[in-house]
Amino acid sequence: MSWGAEKTKSAVVGTTLSAALGLGAVVVFTAVRGTSILRPLIALAAPQGWPSDLVAVSLVPLVAVLAAVFLTRWWPWLLVAGVVLSLPTALVHLFPDLGGHPSLAIIAPAGPPVVLLAVLAAAQDLHRRGARTAGLVLIGLTVGTQLFAASLAGASWLMLATGGLVWHLILTAMSVAGAVLAVLTRGARALDPEWPEPRPLSARFAVAAILAVLLPMAAQAVDVLKVSELLDLPVESIGRHPEVVVAIGGLIVLVGGIIACAIAGSRAFFAAATSASVQVGAMAPLLLAVYSVAFQPVLGWLAAAVGVAAGCLVGASRWRVQFAVGGAVLSALVLFILDLGTGGVPEKLIDHDAAIPGALLLALLCATVVAVVVTTGPRLAENGVVVPVLGPLVSVLVFGGAGVMTAVGVREQNAPSTRLEAVHHLDYSAGLLFLAAALIAGIAAVEHLRDRSKQEAVSA
């Protein structure tokens, strides 16, 4: 092998390895601070409040995400910045004093979104370079790491000594190593004659991305008083149903997100809608699956890891569309059967400690979500818009969609509040999975007809 070929290979391998290792910061952050599964980390970078003495600090995550969207050509340095910003959360168990600094707590949410955007940029470069499998696997891992983190965190009400601190330290060390490797391999990429030149975002994608990043702040403007005035209902009545406020805020963000996707164009719109649909649809059943294996944490980790690996594998294959559609349809059917088999009380899986069915459901859902997200990647990578579409646009749709779905899981009057409310409405989740399958099939059909018409035009 010639020296030039070795440099080319090292550029691809170094980029893939550094980006994959960097995702360790996302796993740790989600496992430590995550309160829900598949949290829209990029959308959550928007300020959640405005402390009078920390207004400037509150803007840091938002500014960091906006900068990352437009500075993807320097993704190695973005990866370094994201990992560094994530360190306080990752090391809080070793240095408890870190948790006492409000500024660090506010800045920390900037880390994982920047890491995700950097990895998406690396995946896009790899795909355009010709290393399509590596690029698609990295796209799958951006969502797969969040799924694995959910299994690592386990049920919120159960605290087991499962070696969590050791895992956090290992994953943190991996992320630091990935950031260092990303910088060290810049020379190899510069010497690779086939490495793609960066593409600046077009005006419409820039506008769409900025709008998507800013939109979640609109949800913060919705409160009980405004909803009471809007619906002409007593404040006390709205106060008894706080999910209404969340749902209205989510609806506002969702509508704005749809507009942002429309600005980006039809291809971006359908890709973002597909990815967001499968993620929102999988949230409730994933919660059920994770809680079902709560007392078997190792089984949960293995199930999630196997599911993510399977999703990346089939997503990188030539049959990705068939597998993604089949996985989404199968997952939806399983949810219908599960709801029917438990008499409409799916949490029986948890009550009866049904770890094996829970693990199988977890693996299936992880594989489906990853495969569907990966399937949207190739066309986006060819157009150089993976970062804005699978980053801010998908995240804002997930944020809004998850907010709207809180209205679905409304409990009965005077019933105690529980995190498993959404699990009682798996038919809605199944519907979103069917929607994702239909979108994938429709996009594939349109692309096939478009390619065939081009071939016929050339031959004519």
pLDDT by residue for the chain (460 residues), tens digit each?
444 455 567 888 888 999 999 999 888 888 776 656 888 888 888 776 665 555 566 788 888 999 999 999 999 999 999 999 888 877 776 666 665 566 667 777 888 999 999 999 999 999 988 889 999 999 999 999 999 988 877 655 554 444 567 777 888 899 999 999 999 988 888 888 888 888 888 999 999 999 999 998 888 777 767 666 666 666 666 666 677 778 888 899 999 999 999 999 999 999 999 999 999 999 989 988 988 888 888 898 899 999 999 999 999 998 999 999 999 999 999 999 988 887 777 877 777 777 898 899 999 999 999 999 999 999 999 889 999 999 999 999 999 999 888 877 655 554 545 666 777 788 899 999 999 999 999 988 888 787 777 776 666 6
- Give the residue among 280, 309, 275 at the shortest CA–CA distance from 380: 275
pLDDT at 106: 74
pLDDT at 161: 42
- Give the residue among 251, 273, 301, 287 at the shortest CA–CA distance from 429: 287
Cα gap 86→181, rounded to integer Å: 17
Which domains does the chain show, CATH number per domain? Answer: 1-197 (1.20.1250)
Reading phi first (left if > 0) and then psi (alpha if -120 to 50, else beta), residue 241 is in beta
Q: Got the DSSP string for 345-359?
A: -TTHHHHTT-HHHHH
Give me the residue label for tokens 């049904």.
Answer: 354
pLDDT at 1: 44
Give me the residue label for tokens 């649809």.
Answer: 281
Backbone phi, then psi, for 401, in 5-degree steps?
-65, -40
pTM: 0.90
Termini Cα distance of the chain? 43
Q: How many CB atoms lie within 10 A of CB 456?
A: 9
What lies within 8 Å, CB to CB, of 370 at 6+ separation is 140, 143, 144, 147, 307, 308, 310, 311, 312, 315
pLDDT at 193: 82
- Give the residue among 452, 149, 136 at the shortest CA–CA distance from 320: 136
pLDDT at 220: 79
pLDDT at 160: 45
- Give the residue among 375, 362, 371 at the shortest CA–CA distance from 334: 362
What lies within 8 Å, CB to CB, of 106 at 6+ separation is 51, 54, 57, 58, 60, 61
- Give the residue among 267, 269, 250, 251 at the shortest CA–CA distance from 259: 269
pLDDT at 200: 86
In the numeric block, which tokens belong to residue 300? Answer: 């949960």
